[in-house]
Homo-oligomer: A and B are copies of this chain.
């Protein structure tokens, strides 16, 4: 039985079902999936890094369904915006522009107690929203309740200084949100946008809908 070496260094048995599922999530057709798996098999060897499988699968998928290959690598493409969070903020500004907002990045706004640097300020019609972007460098890092709490406190400090001016604050994250962060954010009427959240309107869906893959390729990347 072939084993794969995970990013953590752990070994686990190769699962072609997992590869099949990841291709399916990216929108590959059954026929394409079968071809990709057939061509992948001779490239596999014992203790192959998962990263290498992923890279091979991308190349194969790219020859048959390039658009789905972009989706397949979207998560990594977002991580590649790092290491700092600034390119992610610029990317989110472009995403909101595509959604019909006017945007400004890194705006200093006074609160009742202190001044705050807001990553992106967006406006559509009369509605002005504030956006706090959280960029995580690795999969598995979730945006937790402490982040949701401080984002809300920041909004309230500003709202107390300028009552009625800003509609809401958004917490936008390239990975997932914890259940507690979601519960708190919804309760406070915070805008939430993250990987797979909201369901079927997550950041991966919006990037696909507005076809913003080229921004990740051309990149604001610092590397």
Q: Tell me the A residues contacting B by CB distance below 8 Å.
A: 112-114, 145-147, 149-150, 152-154, 156-157, 180, 183-184, 187-188
Contact = CB atoms under 8 A, between A and B. Distances in A.
A73 to B, nearest CB: 32
Contact of A150 (B112, B114, B149, B180): B149
A149 B153 contact: yes
8 contacts: A112-B187, A113-B183, A113-B184, A114-B184, A149-B149, A149-B154, A149-B157, A153-B156
Given A112-B187, A113-B187, A146 B150 contact: yes
Contacts of A150: 146-147, 149-150, 153
A106 B152 CA distance: 24
A188 B113 CA distance: 8
A114 B147 CA distance: 14
A54 to B, nearest CB: 34
A23 B153 CA distance: 41
Contact of A156 (B114, B147, B156): B156
A183 B112 CA distance: 11
A110 B188 CA distance: 15
Contacts of A152: 153
Contact of A153 (B114, B153, B180, B183): B153
Nearest to A154: B149
A154 B180 CA distance: 13
Contacts of A188: 113
B114 A180 contact: yes
A178 to B, nearest CB: 10
B157 A114 contact: no
A183 B152 CA distance: 18
A113 B114 CA distance: 25
Contacts of A147: 150
Which 9 A/B pairs are nearest by Cβ-Cβ distance?
A113-B187, A149-B153, A149-B150, A150-B150, A153-B153, A113-B184, A114-B184, A146-B150, A152-B153
B149 A187 contact: no
Contacts of A114: 145, 180, 183-184, 187
